[in-house]
Amino acid sequence: MRALVVDDSRAMRRIVARILTGIGYDVEAGDGQQALDVLARGPKPHLACIDWNMPVMDGLSLVVRVRENPQWRDITLMMVTTESEHSQIVRALAAGAHEYLIKPFTSDSLREKLDLLGLVPAPTGEVAS
């Protein structure tokens, strides 16, 4: 499975990417604008973890852009952000995000969210059908 990690902080991209790689994902990472380039180029990720506060293109705008494109409809979008206001969570979910993870988070809490979404890949060696 493929994941796209979107954050303007390289350190945060590295942290999220490391967790996802540990779970078994192939990970690409970038900021909001780079994410659109990655999506346009493909291959399409199954999951995108998206920071909210980013210069150039913020996470909410990115969610809206992804949801506008029918080809990207099946990508699961998870906001990963310090924005913890209920109203912000509602906005993100209304815009088309599936899940919401508040920073700071643990690798277990990220894994738990993915589990709920049915997005924990089978361990390497197992045949996925």
Give yes or no for residue 83 binding Mg ion (CB under 5 A): no
Give yes or no for residue 31 binding Mg ion (CB under 5 A): no
Sheet holding 2-6, edge to edge: 26-30, 2-6, 47-50, 76-81, 99-102
Q: Which of 40, 43, 53, 56 binds Mg ion (CB under 5 A)?
A: 53
Give yes or no for residue 99 binding Mg ion (CB under 5 A): no
Stretch that binds Mg ion, among 27-35, 51-59, 89-97, 106-114 (CB under 5 A): 51-59
Distances (CA, A) of 13 to 22, 89, 107, 111, 128: 14, 21, 13, 16, 27
# of chain residues touching Mg ion (CB under 5 A): 4
Residues that bind Mg ion (CB under 5 A): 8, 51, 53-54
